[in-house]
Amino acid sequence: MDQDFDALMFQTGAVFTPGAPINERELFSGRKDQVLKIVEAVSQRGCHAILYGERGTGKTSLSNMITAFLARRQAFVVSRTNCDISDTYSSLWAKAFKDIEAAKRRPDIGFGGLRNPLTAPPQDYALNSDTPDGVRRTLQGIAATAALIVIFDEFDRIRRPDAITAMADTIKALSDHAVNATVLLIGVADSVDELIREHQSIERALIQVHMPAMSDGEIRGIVMSGFERLAMEIEFEACEDLVQYSQGAPYITHLLSIYSARAALGARSMIVCAEHVEAGMIRALDQWQQSVKSLYDDAVRRARNPALHRDVLLACALADVDEQRYFVAGAVGAPLSAIRDRDVAPLTSARVLKDLSEPGTGQILHRAGEGARRRYRLFNPILRPYIIMRNVRDKRIAKDVLHRRSASRAEANDPDWTDASTF
């Protein structure tokens, strides 16, 4: 029996994968609308797409799943380039063309015109990567033998305005010439704004696909599916704890699930209960990115009133947000009152929000707009689950508060909703 538990302990890392993009379709529940929009872009010559959303929502995983699905059904050649802050327009396409050349020399990939892909002479496509017209002509030549999907991941890391302008020009040129190649850009919302600003006319050729945070139901699907694959069970309370701690981020779900599963298996149990999730949460907090820990600790430590600032940050993590995860100052009031167990004057929380979004305080909050249009957003989306879990661990907020807020939101969005915990 010990050997079985040890084998399962090892297998958890194959089922829950916080350190790598998710590739299993059954572990990536939902997202049908996003899949259909990207497939629509690929299937229409002259169309391209940008997949945008917060970090940690699974954009890269979704693109992996879609391209693998398409490649199995048609002769697509997929190139994937990870952008970095040092990239120029030329270096981006040089990397993409190297990937295409490597794909061309694999015998299992498209390029029907090559009788022996392994011995075909390599071509230096990168020689034509300096200008949008050169890139367009090169892609047009390659696409004569196989349809192309060219992916640029983390496009928001590009810092050179000329590179963004040239990429917009490239998409326009590919669309105008109906080249059989689809460019898929992956980034955050600001990437869309910058790209469209450079070329208003590409909006008709660029399908914009928003990747929202996952719903509670979708996160629940990842949890249940994963534990089912491990032939393990998870109690209702434990599952709901994982859902609330995840805050819509599949990366966090995988991180918590693997540690919760291992806590249960370490106790020689095939059933995951709330105590195992708590142990997994504590382990996950220890493994969290140091930059996130430091940002939170510095914001609290530098404050004139650390306890108040800490509570306001927790209220920010619990506040109702819009599609881009922004919240207004008024959204902090109800959770802050629940945390402090008394009403807190709106001016008090507004003053703290302003402090937390000033450059001198580490800017843990991003502030947008002025006056009545002012909104706030946590600087890093992974801060939201981190702040919540840290305060649960430190007994500053009860899990019941999270579940009640989730239940009230669900009821507000669906009048026919019923809390499953009441049965």
299, part of any domain: yes
Q: Are residues 169 and 93 in the same domain?
A: yes
Q: Is the pLDDT of residue 151 over 70?
A: yes
Asked whether residue 19 is domain-assigned, the answer is: no
Mean pLDDT of 409-416: 52
Which residue's entry shows tokens 């669900």? 410
Higher-pLDDT residue of 239 and 303 is 239
Assess whether 201 and 333 both reside in one domain.
no
Q: Are residues 69 and 203 in the same domain?
A: yes
**What is the overall mean pLDDT for the chain?**
84
Work out the angle at residue 351's Cα, subtended by the Cα atoms of residues 349 and 354, and round it to the nearest 5 degrees.
110
- Closest by CA position to 149, among listed 85, 69, 57: 69
Strand bridging mode 48-52 / 181-187: parallel
Of the candidates 268, 287, 306, which is a domain's last residue?
Answer: 287
Per-residue pLDDT reduced to its tens digit, 329-364: 999 999 999 898 888 888 888 899 988 998 766 679
Tell whether the model's pLDDT for residue 423 goes beyond 50: no
Strand 365-368 with 375-378, pairing: antiparallel
- Per-residue model confidence (pLDDT) at position 20: 60
186 and 71 in a single domain? The answer is: yes
Higher pLDDT, 122 or 163: 163
Contact 79, 100 (CB under 8 A): yes
Average pLDDT over residues 179-195: 83
Instruction: For residue 118, name the pLDDT band (cuts at 50, 70, 90).
Output: very low
Residue 34 near residue 211 (C-beta atoms within 8 A): yes
The pair of three-digit structure tokens given for residue 294, joined into one six-digit string: 């430091």
Domain count, the chain: 3
Residue 26 lies in a domain: no
Does 171 lie in the same domain as 120?
yes
Least confident of 124-133, 220-229, 353-362: 124-133
